[in-house]
């Protein structure tokens, strides 16, 4: 049994759930409410000193960092294998989690913060608490980016860089589908690369930015439809978000999409 500390809507938590579901591993979910700041609870920070989700506890050991957890689970629970057998293909596959860890996750985080979280956090936080919340973020560069978004919204340069970064990810997926022939990123085998990127593409869809591929990337559209039809997706992502919240998030994204489309084309 694995204890998973997570936030249901967090991209990194979803990565781990997709692997757990794919392998049929039993797990118990412990939800951390990121909007309320429960990640800063001292008991949780003892598990995850960066005050982020996910964290798992397995065999009495604490594991953090979603990409590393995915690899751990794939090694510890080998069936079905989520890595190709050819080391060269493993090398190619690992570019996806590497890119997400190095830059992609921060891009998504910022895009989400710009389009929805800044409103939800502002609604849930008293004005003087907002400053304290920024001050509590261990990642100071992230706090500074969030400050710029609070001031300039989708007009902030940091937002434009982030959304172009997400476009790069879509381009990477599309190029691999072309090179390896699909249906998955590395070809016939559904791998950690597919599980790693799924929640990032889903996030763009949730905020109404699916115009980034629907009209221009048919291979990616087909891949994403196939991803959403998989049992592990249905298990890991079964809707728990109230329909009203989904609608309001999509509406917030759609309201800024024309401006974002222009920024992407620039
Ligand atoms: N590199 C970490 C990143 C984890 C991360 O940033 N998680 C986000 C949710 S997807 C989080 O907990 N954010 C809390 C916050 O920003 O305060 C991982 O892959 O596990």
> What pLDDT score does 51 carry?
93
- Average pLDDT (66-82) is 98
Length of the chain: 266
153 and 202 fall within a common domain: yes
What's the gap in Å between 61 CA and the centre of ligand 1?
20
Ligand 1 pocket: which of 5, 6, 12, 203 to mutate (most atoms <8 Å of CB)?
Answer: 12
Residue 44 scores a pLDDT above 80: yes
| Residue 81: inside a domain | no
> What pLDDT does residue 10 have?
94
Indicate whether 82 belongs to any domain.
no
- Going by alpha carbons, the residue nearest to atom 18 of ligand 1 is 65
Mean pLDDT of 56-83: 98
How far, in Å, CA of 211 to CA of 46, rounded? 41
Q: Are 51 and 40 in contact (CB under 8 A)?
A: yes
Q: How much is the pLDDT for 91?
A: 98
47 and 155 inside one domain:
no
Distance 99 CA to ligand 1 centre (A): 15
Atom of ligand 1 nearest to the CA of 40: 17
- Residue 185 tokens read as 């990123």
Residue 116 lies in a domain: yes
Question: What CATH number corresponds to the domain at position 24?
Answer: 3.40.30.10
pLDDT above 70: percentage of residues in the chain: 100
How far apart, in whole angstroms, are the C-alpha atoms of residue 228 and residue 90?
A: 24
- Same domain? For 124 and 16 the reply is no
Query: Do 105 and 53 reside in the same domain of the chain?
Result: no
**Rounded CA separation 111/257 (Å):** 12
Given 55, 76, 97, the domain boundary residue is 76
Residue at 101 is within a domain: yes
Please report the pLDDT score of residue 238 as a whole number.
Answer: 82
Mean pLDDT of the chain, nearest integer: 94
Q: pTM of whole model > 0.75?
A: yes
**Which residues, judged by CB distance below 6 Å to any ligand atom, belong to the binding site of ligand 1?**
10-12, 34, 39, 52-54, 65-67, 101, 105
Write down which residue in 45, 76, 107 finishes a domain.
76
Q: Find the domain containing 55 and state its range.
A: 2-76
């Amino acid at each position: 049994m694995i204890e998973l500390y997570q936030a249901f809507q967090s991209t990194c938590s979803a990565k781990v759930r997709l692997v757990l579901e794919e392998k049929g591993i039993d797990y118990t979910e412990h939800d951390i409410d990121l909007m309320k700041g429960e990640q800063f609870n001292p008991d949780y920070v003892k598990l995850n000193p960066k005050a982020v989700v996910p964290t798992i506890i397995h065999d009495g050991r604490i594991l953090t960092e979603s990409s590393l957890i995915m690899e751990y689970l794939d090694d510890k629970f080998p069936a079905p294998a989520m890595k190709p057998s050819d080391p060269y293909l493993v090398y190619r596959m690992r570019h996806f989690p590497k890119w997400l860890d190095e830059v992609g996750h921060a891009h998504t985080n910022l895009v989400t913060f710009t389009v929805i979280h800044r409103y939800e956090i502002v609604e849930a936080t008293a004005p003087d608490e907002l400053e304290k919340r920024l001050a509590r973020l261990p990642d100071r560069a992230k706090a500074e980016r969030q400050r710029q978004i609070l001031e300039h919204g989708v007009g902030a340069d940091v937002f434009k860089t982030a959304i172009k970064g997400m476009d790069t990810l879509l381009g990477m997926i599309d190029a691999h589908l072309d090179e390896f022939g699909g249906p998955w990123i590395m070809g016939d085998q559904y791998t950690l690369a597919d599980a790693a990127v799924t929640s990032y593409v889903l996030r763009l869809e949730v905020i109404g930015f699916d115009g980034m591929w629907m009209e221009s990337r048919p291979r990616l559209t087909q891949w994403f439809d196939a991803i959403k039809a998989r049992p592990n997706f249905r298990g890991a992502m079964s809707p728990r978000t109230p329909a009203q919240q989904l609608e309001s998030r999509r509406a917030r994204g759609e309201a800024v999409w024309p401006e974002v489309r222009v920024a992407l084309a620039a």
